[in-house]
Structure 1
Amino acid sequence: MKFLKRNTVKMLAGAIVAMSLGVSAPFAQDSVSAAQDAIDSIEPVLSYDTAYNLQLAIQKYEAIAAAGGWEPISRGSYGLKLGKSQGHVRGIRRRLMASGDLDPNLRLSDEFDADVDAAVRLFQARHGLRLTGVLDQETFITMNVPVQEKLNQLRLNQARVQELVPALADQYIVVNIPAASIEAVSNGTVERRHTAIVGRIDRPTPILQSKVHQINFNPYWHVPKSIIRRDIIKYMNDDPQYLANFRIKIYDGNGEELEPSSVDWKTEEAVQYSFRQEPGAENSMGHVKINFHNKHAVYLHDTPQKSLFGQNRRFHSSGCVRVDDVDQLVSWLLQSNGEWDQNAVDAAFESGERLDVSIKNPVPIITTYITAWANREGVVSFREDIYQYDAQGRVALASD
């Protein structure tokens, strides 16, 4: 995990609070790292303090709304970036000043200077956008979301957090679906933060609470019936060598292996059989599967598709959650087992051998849906309502 530079965060996040009060505050020279540092807090997205921090954020956005909110930025602002100079920049400056991303004591010039560049990147960081500094399409659309909508989002998420905090333990894992992020928390502090791949819109990651109880090193992948029906049949019709190429075997009800050629791929016959992918480089589980009891048959796991972690929108799975730097999360989970340090975990990965390890002290896991949160420094973050739970006004999300 990239832990924040505490002084930088205090300066930048403090700047946000100061700006909302009309007080000038300095920005870091490196606008990219400063913007990222402002949100990479050691504070969890879900904790006992989060509800209080959200209440302060609500008060801040109520004050913004009472002052008239912010005006939409004009279409002429689209595509503007550092070095540009034109009248539309004034609208960008006013918008960023209103939300506290830009010092309101700066003059309203037509110049897209370093101050505006830093403010745009800070806005992008707070909203989970690419830190380009450019008024690209996503940034343009997000800046034009009315303050009242942001305020409603904060209130809804405060209610969600208040429902969840009674279930928190001293140590737990949170999968925040809208942020496609995982936090490993101990004693109120984020000890590890991981980029994740979560369920796409038509195959959402379920909301649940459970405990991580087992690690499968170099696992088999038992293909879910839903994936056989939705994907495997199609792939085999497109390429009859698909199963062979990915080392997936078919078994009947008696455990006897079948030849792919014996299955009628023009029908749904395949759904009645079991499909198992062998351990190895092609395995969809990668080197490890992290198990927790739930009725949805979902889990955390490694993946051979590492490039997906570099994407901004990481909603690609069929419900399970893929974890970047998963070996470090496994080591964290196995702390209570004693002998499983980072070297032991890495050695198990490299061996390629099947091994199941029970966790001596199962760790609580919560998969949840938090689209707005704040830290004690006053930095308020938002994420897209990818599953439309905010639009539905859902507070009490289904749990396992």
Structure 2
Amino acid sequence: MPLSLTLALGAALPALAETGQAEWAQRYDADARLTVSRSTTPILSEQTVAATEAAIERYRQIVETGGWPAVPNQTLRLGSNGAAVSALRRRLIVSGDIGAETGTSPIFDSYVEAGVRRFQARHGIIETGVVNQQTLAALNVPAETRLRQLETNLVRLRSFSHELGARYVTANIPAAQVETVENGQVVTHHIAGVGKIDRQSPVMQTKAYQVNFNPFWTVPASVIRKDLIPKMQADPNYLHDNHIRVYNKEGQELQPEQINWRSLDALNYKFRQDIGGDFNSLGVVRIDIANPYGVYMHDTPAKGVFGDDFRFVSSGCIRLQNVRDYVAFLLRETPGWDRDAIDRAIASGERIDVKINPAVPVYWVYITAWGTPDGVTQFREDIYQRDGLNTAQIQAPDYSQAQTPAPTPVAQQAAAPRGGRLLPRDEEN
């Protein structure tokens, strides 16, 4: 038994002897096997390809030995007791999220909680330690499907085995994450908001060539049709409340009352949101990237999205957490634009455009499964259904205990705009 586990169990024994039950406050997650560290290895790298190949071999062995059991459809948390917890333990043991020495006890103790947190971290789920519907859906994807997912994504990873540049950016769409890379090491990580299921962020290779500080946002026709017109029909004050002005083709400002909102008349006008980090849909920074899809990367005033599991919320653009760190990376080799200059530009409240010199390569990729050099295997939901696999419709066994409804796949959840804000898509401001 590992020393850390022995010490943890020893610490719990006095409480067990006195009370006759486990001490739920005792932490068992000191074991290094139960932690998932943030990797400094770029997802697009030879190291990730090798780690994914190793993960495929491990998962082939899991499949050959029968895979893992399904976990019944009920919420499980610290203190839960019953056959469902035993099934959960067996599931976590097979995937390596807890050690086999923990056994199949029906009690959900702190060690199981740590294993659940590890599983959640590997699947891009907020680490609550509670087996909720989203965690259940991920737990009950068969080992065979996970193996095929790894094999599918290995092909994608190998396609980026060529030279990507000394400095570059990778946005992994299914993970809703962005990383900056320099000299083969990840410099910064950024949680992101990416395209909704019906307005997908495109896979592409491009370059970031310009930073717009304190940008205007011009509402594109697709957003006028799908979002702005319905919002104005529901609330005639919407434009005013969101600091959006209306202009005709001659550049003259109009009043919202001059437009027939019960028709498509609004498509004949230009709608531009004022500068302002507290309300502007682009926040305080927009990053221009060369592409034919009309998308870009930007800040957002709606920071709450970065704390959600489901971050497929935009009209195709990518919203960035900690955008100032990201801009500092892009402008590091641009003379006169250190972090202090960036902060001053934002604080000025004025529109300032800066060419990135040299332009930085940017890769928007679609990777739903990969290995890391530390032996951890990562999975994300195939949100755009591009893997060609069914990873969600798995039935749990029938238990005599009362069960909650089967978990709903995240990909089937509605991706409605959050906070009532419009979702920006790239057009000239």
Which TM bucket (shorter chain)? Answer: 0.7 to 0.9
Tell me the CA shift for residue 338 of structure 1. 3.3
Quick one: percent identity of the two aligned structures? 43
Q: CA RMSD in A?
A: 2.2
Whole-Å separation in 2 of the counterparts to 1:333 and 1:30: 41
Tell me the CA shift for residue 106 of structure 1. 2.8
Question: Match for residue 58 of structure 1?
Answer: 56
After superposition, where does 1:349-364 map in structure 2 within 5 Å?
349-364=346-361
Whole-Å separation in 1 of the counterparts to 2:87 and 2:314: 39
Whole-Å separation in 1 of the counterparts to 2:191 and 2:30: 18
Among 249, 253, 264, the alignment partner of 2:260 is 264
Report whether the alignment pairs 1:286 with 2:283. Answer: yes
Deviations 1:323-362 (A, max 9, x none): 1110111111100013222222122111111100001111
One-letter code of the match for 2:233? Answer: N
Confirm or deny: 8 A CA contact 2:245 2:273 kept in the other structure.
yes
Among 112, 117, 121, the alignment partner of 2:113 is 117
Question: Match for residue 90 of structure 1?
Answer: 86
TM-score, normalised to structure 2, is 0.81
Among 163, 173, 179, the alignment partner of 2:175 is 179
After superposition, where does 1:250-261 map in structure 2 within 5 Å?
250-261=246-257
Question: Match for residue 132 of structure 2?
Answer: 136
Among 336, 340, 357, the alignment partner of 1:339 is 336
Question: Match for residue 218 of structure 1?
Answer: 214
Question: Match for residue 46 of structure 2?
Answer: 48
Structure 1 residues 177, 30: closer, same or farther in 2, change over 3 A? farther
After superposition, where does 1:171-320 map in structure 2 within 5 Å?
171-280=167-276, 281-320=278-317
Deviations 1:261-319 (A, max 9, x none): 22111111111222111111311111010001111111110111111111111111111
One-letter code of the match for 2:332? Answer: Q
Bigger drift between 378-387 and 29-38 goes to 29-38
Tell me the CA shift for residue 121 of structure 1. 0.9
Bigger drift between 199-208 and 39-48 goes to 39-48
Partner SS for 2:46:
coil
Among 162, 165, 184, the alignment partner of 1:166 is 162
Q: How many residues align?
A: 366
One-letter code of the match for 1:67? Answer: T
Tell me the CA shift for residue 107 of structure 1. 2.7
One-letter code of the match for 1:312? Answer: D
Tell me the CA shift for residue 186 of structure 1. 0.8
TM-score, normalised to structure 1, is 0.87
Tell me the CA shift for residue 167 of structure 1. 5.4
Tell me the CA shift for residue 164 of structure 1. 2.4
Among 90, 103, 127, the alignment partner of 2:123 is 127
After superposition, where does 1:8-23 map in structure 2 within 5 Å?
none
Can you give the 5+ residue segments of structure 1 that lack an aligned partner in the other structure? 1-10, 13-27, 394-400
Report whether the alignment pairs 1:73 with 2:55. Answer: no
Partner SS for 1:174:
strand
Whole-Å separation in 2 of the counterparts to 1:309 and 1:347: 25
One-letter code of the match for 2:263? Answer: T
Can you give the 5+ residue segments of structure 2 that lack an aligned partner in the other structure? 6-25, 391-429
Tell me the CA shift for residue 185 of structure 1. 0.7
